[in-house]
Structure 1
């Protein structure tokens, strides 16, 4: 399918101390009609990230309301999320919202970093969240030696299913350190305790460095996934399909969206969130600088690929 860009939806003004820059990793929570609460991560002057939100009408591309304070801030010193938190996936469960989020720590040599997956719960529709634990629900392991990050979680029948980013190598090159990560799979009975065996959902193609931030939808018996892909020239958006959510066929040429000729998303397209809002498929995504230039909105031009 092809996507029609609706333009930049939101970028922080820089007036709030916790949101000097960035609106990274958008996650939309539909409220009523075309209005969504869109969670994202913004950074302060020390580059520490917090989670905030805007409420926006996605039919008109209009921001209606903006959070005055973050709903989640970095954790205490020494914790897995002490340098930053990022939203990744929201699941409605028994009247509550489960927010799977990313906890981040800087490594000893930039750009090396460490990330793990935490869980917070909201009982008031996403206006406040409490951490389920001071520890992550998914951390580095034998299967994921460098990092885990950017999960997408869904309830699928009696199972909770997670597709997540797994970092497996860093490499020194003439232009600095290069990260390598792909997408793996995990399951849970309760959304808190997760099982994994190293199953790779989306692997790297030759010459590809990173596959990141999946978004999965089950439609008419087909699992559809949008994600980010990096070949060393900035992220692009990819697309894949699966009959069981385990074995995927990449169809990146059907992603249907490319960087603009210039402007806020002229260098990269990253971190897509795709979902139905009031009967219309919407895509939220970041452009240049991993969300530094804000987040944008797109809608399908034609049917197909879930359109």
Structure 2
């Protein structure tokens, strides 16, 4: 599998004090024709992230509208998203649309922690918090930190989730062990956790983030994600496949996309979002600086 890079689509313009830098975790939702509303996580001067959006013509590779204010801001002090909102993907349940996100907490004199929240996406494209408590909180299965959820609705109406979970902040090589776990639900409300989904290997792939999944039980599944190896190499995009969505095969050598020789994505690439449009698979992704240089587009050959 090879991906052809189509270039940088959007670089942050500092349109609002809450969206001064970064356009991380791009999340496209079709508006009309070839135009997608791409939500992203931008940051303020204190590095706290909120949600903004731009509208993009995917085939023309043009920005057609830039929204000049956030549509959802990080929370107040002591909330589970007090220091940021990093969006995952969107899905429908009971006629409503939702976006899951990683909420950041950075307590004084302690390590940052993440938990998963849920936003309701209104018919007017507004975003509102669906409950003041985490949608998925830390527990005995995931006791350290949670991140970047991805929900997929199966053909039988059930739901699957893949999400990040920290095992330890230091796996012995100075890098955290942060894996991709999985869960199932019949109603997208109550989830049964099933433990590890994607195998990890220390010093090869051990710090995963933001899975993006396409496929079905009848056709098999494909997953792309960010990962770090533990040897001080910055984020790269990885790839895995599964016949049943539960047992995954790590296939880093088949990902078909890497850093460029120069430019906005020459140091790192991360936070992929893969989607189909008019018979083609596209990937939105970030480059240098965890999204500081914006997001770009690639198409599968």
TM-score, normalising length: structure 2: 0.93
Q: 1:109 to 1:289 in 2, by over 3 A?
A: farther
Partner of 2:120: 121
- Per-residue displacement from partner, 1:218-264 (whole Å, max 9, x unpaired)? 15611111111111301111111111110011111111001001211
| Gap regions ≥5 residues in structure 2 | none
Report the count of equivalent residues.
Answer: 296
1:190 aligns with 2:187: yes
Q: Distance in 2 between matches of 1:203 and 1:142?
A: 20
Check conservation: 1:155, 1:161, Cα contact below 8 A: yes
Deviation at 1:117, TM superposition (A): 0.5
Q: Distance in 2 between matches of 1:242 and 1:178?
A: 27
TM alignment of 1:165-204, pairs within 5 A: 165-171=164-170, 178-197=175-194, 199-204=195-200
RMSD: 1.8
5 Å-filtered alignment, 1:208-247, equals: 208-218=205-215, 221-231=219-229, 232-247=232-247
Q: Report deviation, 1:173.
A: 7.4
Q: Work out whether residues 137 and 193 of structure 1, in 8 Å CA contact, stay in contact via their aligned partners in 2.
A: no
- The aligned residue for residue 273 of structure 2 is 273
Structure (1 or 2) with the greater strand fraction: 1
Residue 94 to residue 142, structure 1, CA distance change in 2 (3 Å):
closer
Q: CA deviation at 1:86?
A: 1.7
Describe the SS at the equivalent of 1:263.
coil
Shift of 1:68: 2.0
Name the CA distance, whole Å, in 2 between partners of 1:102 and 1:192. Answer: 17
Q: Distance in 2 between matches of 1:275 and 1:185?
A: 20
The within-5 A match list for 1:75-90 is 75-90=75-90
TM-score using structure 1 length: 0.91
Please give the alpha-carbon distance, in whole angstroms, between the structure 1 residues aligned to 2:109 and 2:198. 28
The ranges of structure 1 where at least 4 consecutive aligned residues each deviate by more than 6 angstroms after the TM superposition are none
The alpha-carbon deviation at position 109 of structure 1 amounts to 5.3
Whether contact under 8 Å (1:96, 1:124) holds in the other structure is: no
Separation in structure 2 between the aligned mates of residue 104 and residue 44 of structure 1, nearest angstrom: 14
Secondary structure of the residue aligned to 1:261 is coil
Please give the alpha-carbon distance, in whole angstroms, between the structure 1 residues aligned to 2:89 and 2:129: 15
The runs of 5 or more residues in structure 1 that have no matched partner are 302-307
Query: Deviation per CA, 1:14-33, whole angstroms, max 9, x where unpaired?
Result: 24211110001111112222
Task: Map residues 52-67 of structure 1 onto 2, 5 A cutoff.
Answer: 52-67=52-67
